[in-house]
Amino acid sequence: MGERTYDEAAYDGVRLRRLDDAGNVAEFVLDRPEALNALSTNLARSIGRASADLAADRRVRAVVVSSACEKAFCVGADLKERSDFTDADLWAQRPIMRAAFGGLLDLPVPVVVAVHRYALGGGFELALAGDLIVADQTAIFGLPEVSVGLVPGGGGTQLLARRIGWSRAFDLIVTARRVEAAEGERLGFVDRLVPPGQARETAVDLARQIAGNSPVGVRSAKRALRLGAAAGLAEGLEIEDAAWRQTAFSADRREGIAAFNEKRPPSWPEVTRWPGDTGTGR
């Protein structure tokens, strides 16, 4: 199927587009190549708006995050813009930045991030806000904030530690060192390592595979995983049980079992209200 232009795709530095006729797979493209997708205030605002639009789109079952810039995925905060900031300017920018990272993190559907070349600072944190990271062999990751008098502020201290463990995350953050994709795979934050130039294609294929599964089941599974990650075992099992109940008594379960028995692909019913829908993916 050909790519379909996303409705209302007028964002400064971001393009949204549908990758199939049904609109089940959407692509979120960072498109500020002249600045290597550096996170300016305007770009951060666009990321928040685009994320909100995706979250409200009930046709979307999976999202791919990619970069239109050949030289980088995203190099982090726009330090040129910040060079003239007063403390008041930086303080005013903070909620806009938090809304950008939080918007991707809170998407209720799986988010597959395609990374090539540089994913530094806020760029790495945008990738961590997704659910799966596909990186090609040119990818370089890093959280350099402590080297310029900052700390990661887009979720890096929390999301990286949850992926690879406290001590490994501590190592990367306090040394500010850069990590190539192969090491990222060994550490555990790169989920698919692919040859140069194949990150986006692999991410799209993965998103399409996800989108072919039960929409209710996939959303419920993501919600259970996210909520359970910060819970104890007993509480986590209760969260899982709630997700099971929400899915097992949905129309998706009836269609899924019927399709299996009839040896045909499932035709998932349209959902008007998602189980556990609170407006976030968490």
* C-alpha to C-alpha distance for 117 and 135, rounded to whole angstroms: 9
Answer whether 49's CB lies under 8 Å from 11's CB. Answer: yes
- What is the phi-psi region of residue 78: left when phi exceeds 0, alpha when psi lies from -120 to 50, beta otherwise? beta
b/e code 183-193 from CB counts within 10 Å (16+ = b):
ebbebebbbbb
* C-alpha to C-alpha distance for 233 and 211, rounded to whole angstroms: 29
pLDDT of residue 255: 87
Q: Is 154 a catalytic residue?
A: no
- The token pair that represents 193 in the structure block: 């390592």
Predicted structure pTM score: 0.90
* C-alpha to C-alpha distance for 41 and 78, rounded to whole angstroms: 8
The catalytic residue among 50, 77, 129, 135 is: 77
Q: Is 145 a catalytic residue?
A: yes
Listed residue (131, 125, 129, 133) closest to 111, CA to CA: 131
Q: Is 122 a catalytic residue?
A: yes
pLDDT of residue 151: 94
The catalytic residue among 13, 103, 121, 122 is: 122
Can you give the length of the chain in residues?
282
The catalytic residue among 26, 76, 145, 181 is: 145
pLDDT tens, the chain, 282 aa long: 455 555 555 688 999 999 988 889 999 999 999 999 999 999 999 999 999 999 999 899 999 999 999 999 999 999 999 989 999 999 999 999 999 999 999 999 999 999 999 999 999 999 999 999 999 999 999 999 999 999 999 999 999 999 999 999 999 999 999 999 999 999 999 999 999 999 999 999 999 999 999 999 999 999 999 999 889 999 999 999 999 999 889 888 898 989 899 998 988 888 766 655 654 433
The catalytic residue among 44, 119, 125, 224 is: 125
Which distant-in-sequence residues (6+ apart) come within 8 Å of 95 by Cβ? none
* C-alpha to C-alpha distance for 22 and 38, rounded to whole angstroms: 32
Q: Is 125 a catalytic residue?
A: yes
Residue type, 126: L
